[in-house]
Amino acid sequence: MLSSGDNAPDFALPAANMDLIQLADYRGRHNVVLYFFNKDHTPGGIAEAVEFSERVDSFAEHNTVILGVSLDECLAHELFREEEGIEFELLSDTEGEVSRRYHALKKWEAHGMVRYGIDRSTFVIDKDGLIRHAFYHVMPKGHAAEILSLVQSLGAAED
């Protein structure tokens, strides 16, 4: 598992519009809230995405961008963003490579079959690419407000 003080693993993933987003693009310029969620159109996925989206401007005031990651394909993300009014990038990690590097991909066995899925996780990454906060087993309701408070305190520490 990753924790505070670790270097955030770099990545390049396609967004809903198929543009390639790299974590390194934000280095030196923005803090990043990187969150991993189970799936588009699920109750938890909707709740978490909408709560983050409602706070996009508040995060931006603290020079922070939000990136959501799931195993869904780009076209599913595009539809999800349109339907729910999501105002930040959703990234497609269909192979689970980035999710593995962040220890957010979990394996379980059910009915004799091995399955993989996301352990809802969130990382607050500063402008230097360091993880300032790492959360695993996140409950979606109210989580965005909690993360915004942490980002606000991060900004105060930088002043």
Each residue of 31-52: pLDDT tens digit? 999 999 999 999 999 999 999 9
Report how far residue 154's alpha carbon sits from residue 59's, in angstroms, rounded to the nearest whole number: 11
Query: How far apart are alpha carbons 68 and 77 in whole angstroms?
Result: 10
Output the CA torsion 54→29→40→136 (10° steps). -100
pLDDT of residue 159: 47
- 1, two tokens: 């598992």
Q: Taking CA 37 as the corner, what is the angle to CA 36 and CA 42, rounded to the nearest 5 degrees?
A: 170
Q: What is the pTM of this model?
A: 0.94
Provide the residue ranges of all domains of the chain, joining segments of one domain with +. 12-158
Which H/E stretch holds residue 149?
Answer: helix 143-158
Distance CA 56, CA 148 (A): 10
Tens-place pLDDT, residues 58-85: 999 999 999 999 999 999 999 999 999 9
- In the chain, what percentage of residues exceed pLDDT 70? 97
Q: How far apart are CA 96 and CA 92, in angstroms?
A: 9
* 12-158 to CATH, choices 3.40.50.2300, 3.90.480.20, 3.40.30.10, 3.30.10.20: 3.40.30.10
Q: What is the mean pLDDT of residues 6-14?
A: 98
Q: Give the residue carrying structure tokens 């009014």.
A: 85
**What's the alpha-carbon Rg for the chain, to the nearest Å?**
15
